[in-house]
Structure 1
């Protein structure tokens, strides 16, 4: 997509002071687990590429942090995500004698392929991939997709007006919340169907 697509998108501007505070918080969090491993895993699932934005560029970790700390996410879901960090690091230490975040790109890819062979491992990776897609599609008020970078890459036209803090789906009256969740879920399923993503070979060819 070119600049024309970017110009046609409604842009959500995050308050500069709030954004700086969030950046500082995340920079501290990703230095230790569980966020160190979660950040490394998200960046491995969607690495830097000449053909599209990376997990870092769409701020997937910031989005997941909001899912875990601000949004009304089921406790079982949050527990599962955190348990996966322990599983992955245990596997990394048994295979490579180091935690996952300390490994090379190639070793990380090998380990993710390895854990994907188990049902729990595959479910964990699919859960994180789902949040990567959400980070691409959600307005910036949810933590990811700065300046609509994900929409531009996917050539996706966002709705308008975009929600600000206080207007996000979990802050809306029940009826409006259901309608918005249905729309986001539809967009995510359509994207997953068209892209047929996999944790391996996440770069676009």
Structure 2
């Protein structure tokens, strides 16, 4: 290989295989709808706790999934798990909330992959519930208020430690 060809190839491969281009993925509207519904089953509204929609679980996930600190493994698990779930249970969105809950509980007890996918969604749901609202979840500090959390200071003024 000639030197110039090698340099061109090297530059192109660095661009194509950089972490930033590998993790830039899109989420379909069907996946979003699925995530919204699954989050509502995992985090239903109770007398003391807000629902996933109220604290912004899906919004938090969307706003953070393409950040460099979000692990590629986690991103792929969330996105591919959503696609696999839709293909395995295409009628999930048409079920009542109670039937959705029954289905999720039945598969989590019988399928390791589904259990891992749902566990990761729970993990990010808890982050959304209790993180600082600057990161896209905990809408109007509703998560903090639900557990009478005393806000720590100083609070972040920009996401992920970016300088002002």
> Higher Cα Rg: structure 1 or 2?
2
Matched, 1:60 2:57: yes
Note the 1:50-129 alignment, pairs <5 A: 50-70=47-67, 72-93=69-90, 98=91, 100-117=92-109, 118-129=111-122
Q: CA deviation at 1:30?
A: 9.2
| Residue pair 2:43, 2:52 contacting (<8 A) in 1 also | yes
> In structure 2, the residue corresponding to 1:42 is in which secondary structure?
helix
Q: CA deviation at 1:43?
A: 1.1
Match of 1:162 in 2: 155
Match of 1:153 in 2: 146
In structure 1, how many angstroms separate the alpha carbons of the residues matched to 2:42 and 2:68?
23
CA RMSD of aligned residues (A): 2.1
In structure 2, how many angstroms separate the alpha carbons of the residues matched to 1:127 and 1:68?
12
Task: Report the TM-score when normalising by structure 2.
Answer: 0.74
In structure 2, how many angstroms separate the alpha carbons of the residues matched to 1:170 and 1:91?
40
Note the 1:128-139 alignment, pairs <5 A: 128-139=121-132
In structure 2, how many angstroms separate the alpha carbons of the residues matched to 1:30 and 1:44?
20
In structure 2, how many angstroms separate the alpha carbons of the residues matched to 1:71 and 1:133?
20
Q: CA deviation at 1:65?
A: 0.7
Aligned residues: 137
Moved over 6 A (4+): none
Q: CA deviation at 1:71?
A: 5.2
Task: Report the TM-score when normalising by structure 1.
Answer: 0.61
In structure 2, how many angstroms separate the alpha carbons of the residues matched to 1:163 and 1:137?
14
Matched, 1:49 2:42: no
5+ residue gaps in structure 1?
1-28, 173-205
In structure 2, how many angstroms separate the alpha carbons of the residues matched to 1:77 and 1:31?
17
Q: CA deviation at 1:56?
A: 0.7
